[in-house]
Amino acid sequence: MDMIEAMKVAVAVARHNSFSSASRDLRLSAASVSRIVADLEADLGVRLFNRTTRQINLTDAGMEFVQKSTCLLEELDLMRSAVRERHDTPAASSTSPA
């Protein structure tokens, strides 16, 4: 299981309060979103979402997982941006003009 993808899926489901809305946002099938969440819950050994036919609610464990995942995903984006910016910036020449 790709943990980063699973974190993104869980955050999207929580944000949209819907598997189908999250699937549209992520451009994945609803079945894929459901499978990823089920695999994540199995891996963690906890239920992240309470599901009924009409609504989805985060469990306490789900709330903690989504909050921490959101922070980690933001940090990952910041790190990627910083590395890209550093790579795109030309290095100063160590030789002085003659």
CATH of the domain at 61: 1.10.10.10
In a domain, 34, yes or no: yes
The answer, yes or no, to whether residue 97 has pLDDT greater than 80, is: no
Q: How many CB atoms lie within 10 A of CB 60?
A: 10
Percent of the chain with pLDDT over 70: 90
Number of domains in the chain: 1
SS3 state of residue 80: helix
Would you state the pLDDT for residue 5? 97
In a domain, 57, yes or no: yes
In a domain, 82, yes or no: no
The rounded mean pLDDT for the chain is 91
In a domain, 97, yes or no: no
In a domain, 30, yes or no: yes
Question: What residue type is 36 in one-letter code?
Answer: I
72 closest CA partner among 24, 16, 3: 3
In a domain, 31, yes or no: yes
2-32 pLDDT, tens digit per residue, is 999 999 999 999 999 999 999 999 999 999 9
In a domain, 96, yes or no: no
Q: Which domain holds residue 38?
A: 3-68
Would you state the pLDDT for residue 95? 56
- Encoding tokens for residue 48? 């992240």
